[in-house]
Structure 1
């Protein structure tokens, strides 16, 4: 029985990347039933790129303000769900799918699927976690294993690999998952909204599979070493803390954000400085307000 699929793309001020990404979507065989692009109030030539795009079924949702990646995916997934699509394929604006990527995913009878990313040189760069540890309080970073380091090359992967978190860069979800756990949480703004969604899905009993032969090419190098004293550093800390407070499997893991905050503040004269210390203090305060897991509402 065939299933309908909508692609949801979120973009902000990366028109040239978006143009290449849309060209990749236009070349898909089979084609998706709809492409919903959430333009997060871009100020570059993104509107012109979208106006020139001739993809059948393209719909542009332009927001009045920048909602961040989390808000954009919440908005786009809500629209795709409301329109009744069976599967929703989430995509960032800096990836390009192989021509058969959608077909490979649709051939898999599973509720949560992840395309496997490579860089422009063909090297495996899939960062999805094979182990995301929220049980061990000594694991400073909960991602203790990932597809890239576990296998090294795509050819060494089995056809499907079970993973414990995802990126909203090639993640496909059936609507029944949203029926159970609700929409992506817009309160994250950026970072960890995809991790949060995966944790909720797995807690609800869904298994997430990375599909080896579903190829997605990432146009940019990974750069997760953000300036922790800048504005992105605040979100990195706050959202990491929120994940621990929401989903930590014991009291010691839920205590980790407080310990990290204390360590950063104490070490700030030696590294990071006052701005990072201020970021982590504000992040800890605000993460406490995010402790509740989102409701299952899709309104």
Structure 2
């Protein structure tokens, strides 16, 4: 399949912070959300809007959001969903709300990070040049967090040891994405549509970033703009870490390979042999995670359940990718 070369520039006009919206997804973590909102309160400059999507929390999240309305320093938009739609559904809704607000830039993030005070200024520095940008993060302990910014496309899996260093340009091209800090222009959202809520959790941001990279030059920039505020059990492998997981994650990791397969098919890049190898490598990686990070053997049944249910998705002839959006006049 022949594809047009991605765009390399976004806009000639300077970045205006008020045209950006931070979209946050939260679920029953009001303490972490409080830290994030406190960090947004300290930002300079601030975005035009902050959108909070609440995945049907049962704690005091609503009260926490209300307590920040008069102190966060920008318009706060709260959407409480009736059911838990997972991170995928939450980010899809957050992107939709931000887009409908007329935002030129949408900055996605989980509730377990905080923003550096000058984070938006650092991202905005790159906005006149690129339309899909990922900043860097500090880990919980203050160390540099390594994110796998490139995928081996035929396999559909991250390249675990892609170079972490930056040269004098200050950026590296990527073909993936992470909703913990994705900074994306509405033009790209218009073309590729909203994040796919069918993933529920896992592979959704990688797939969305990959779709964006087919439309524009996507980059990770050498700017620390976020810090993780939640400690996660890890296996320190020296060059990188492997985080602990859960039974739910194990299930969706394998099931959602089928959604990636369907996207690949729809775009004419699916190679059954190579993609199958990627799925096998993913399965082995999750076994290693069980044994060496979580130090247990129970949990493999969730991997097999995911493969089984993924087979149903892969055979669904009615499956269609998320549709592009019809551009409308800005709502701001």
Within-5 A mapping of 1:1-299:
1=13, 2-3=15-16, 4-53=19-68, 54-55=71-72, 56-108=74-126, 109=128, 110-129=130-149, 131-135=150-154, 142-145=157-160, 150-151=164-165, 159-204=170-215, 206-222=216-232, 224-227=243-246, 230-247=247-264, 249-256=270-277, 274-289=301-316, 292-297=320-325
1:212, distance to aligned residue in structure 2 (A): 1.2
Count of aligned pairs = 282
Q: CA 1:21–1:156 in structure 2 vs 1: closer, same or farther (change >3 Å)?
A: farther
Q: Do the aligned partners of residues 262 and 125 (structure 1) sit closer, same or farther apart at CA in structure 2, a change above 3 Å counting?
A: closer
- Cα gap change, 1:277/1:238 in structure 2, threshold over 3 Å: closer, same or farther? closer
C-alpha displacement of 1:113: 0.8
* Deviation by residue 1:203-252 (Cα, 9 ceiling, x = unmatched): 22x1111121242101124564424xx33322111113422442254231
Where does residue 10 of structure 2 map in the other structure? none
Change (3 A) 1:12 1:157: farther
Partner Cα distance (1:19, 1:96) in 2: 10
Distance 1:83 1:128, change over 3 A: same
> Does the CA-based 8 Å contact 2:254-2:279 persist in structure 1?
no
Deviation of 1:51 after TM superposition, in Å, equals 1.4
Q: Distance in 2 between matches of 1:67 and 1:165?
A: 22
For the Cα contact (< 8 Å) 2:177–2:210, is it kept in 1? Answer: no
For residue 165 of structure 1, report the CA deviation from its aligned partner: 1.1
Show structure 2 runs of 5+ residues with no match: 1-12, 234-242, 286-296, 328-332
Structure 1 stretches lacking a partner, 5+ long: 265-269
Q: Distance in 2 between matches of 1:201 and 1:262?
A: 26
Please give the secondary structure, in 1, of the residue aligned with 2:159.
strand
8 A Cα contact 2:257 2:310, kept in partner: no
State how far apart, in whole Å, the 1-side matches of 2:111 and 2:326 are.
24
TM-score (norm 1): 0.84
For 1:261 and 1:35, the matched residues in 2 are separated by: 35
- Contact 1:238-1:287 within 8 A present in 2 as well: no
1:107 shift after superposition: 1.5
Cα 1:261–1:221 change in 2 (3 A) is closer
Q: CA RMSD in A?
A: 2.9
- Distance apart, 1:186 and its partner CA: 0.9
